Amino acid sequence: MRSYRQYCGLAAALDAVGERWTLLVVRELLIGPRRYGELLADLPGMGTNLLAERLKSLSHLGIVTKDDQLYRLTERGRGLGAAVGSLTRWGLAELDEPESGTACRAHWGLGGLRAMADARRVPGLEESYEFHVDDEVFHLRVSGGAATVGRGPAERPTMTMTTDSKTFVRLGSGDYSARTAQAEGRLTIEGDPQAARRCALVLGLDGSA
């Protein structure tokens, strides 16, 4: 492994996970345990030899473990969640209309939801939202001053959004509004319009858009 040879926490972190593709492997495993073939399918452009090399390195560092043919993050590996979330929030602002052929997976939007949701933006809010993205269903629950994001339907959602994965991810950029996506036929919203605005505020987006 190459090293920056600098006695610094950031340099040490980059020594461990700064190689190309490494944090994208971590992104996939933050969703949950995955089989090798699933990881390879959801990391388009990454060859099998490179994936095997990255998993071996992450295992050696105590970030990833394998059992019953499933790769999963260790407690130390899950500690990367906050850093991945911060980078995701930062990167969303860089997104524009995706080029033709650009890969996207619906569950990548789940990571975006987790990175963006902050219940403190709407104090006292108690409600849930449901998102149908391609063939996946996600939910966002705001309760007790906390925002919880997960796979599967919401319990009594006040707002349901249906869209495709690229639109869903791009909405997180803040530069592409739900109103525009609806006008272009890329998004439908059902339920309380005010709930949709509150959901946008929880996600740090313009609730009037």
- The pLDDT of residue 163: 98
pLDDT of 207 > 70? The answer is: no
Instruction: Give pTM, 2 decimals.
Output: 0.92
Question: Where in the chain is CATH 1.10.10.10?
Answer: 9-79
Residue located via tokens 């995955």: 34
What's the chain's length in residues? Answer: 209
Residue 2's pLDDT band (boundaries 50, 70, 90)?
A: confident
Q: Which fold has domain 105-202?
A: Nonspecific Lipid-transfer Protein; Chain A (3.30.1050)
Question: Where in the chain is CATH 3.30.1050.10?
Answer: 105-202
**Beta strands 159-163 and 187-191: pairing type?**
antiparallel
Token pair in block for residue 80: 């990367």
Token pair in block for residue 141: 């629950």
In whole angstroms, how far apart are CA 31 and each of 124, 148, 168, 177, 178? 28, 13, 17, 26, 25
- 64-102 pLDDT, tens digit per residue, is 999 999 999 999 999 999 999 999 999 999 999 999 999
Q: Quick one: how far is CA 136 from the chain centroid?
A: 13
- The pLDDT of residue 209: 52
| DSSP-based three-state secondary structure for 166 | helix
Say how far apart CA 26 and CA 48 lie, in whole Å. Answer: 16
The residues near 165 (Cβ < 8 Å, ≥ 6 apart) are 104, 105, 106, 108, 109, 133, 134
- 23-72 pLDDT, tens digit per residue, is 999 999 999 999 999 999 999 999 999 999 999 999 999 999 999 999 99
- 155-175 pLDDT, tens digit per residue, is 999 999 999 999 999 999 988
Q: List, in sequence order, the alpha helices (H) in 140-177.
A: 165-171
Q: Which fold has domain 9-79?
A: Arc Repressor Mutant, subunit A (1.10.10)
Say how far apart CA 176 and CA 11 lie, in whole Å. Answer: 35
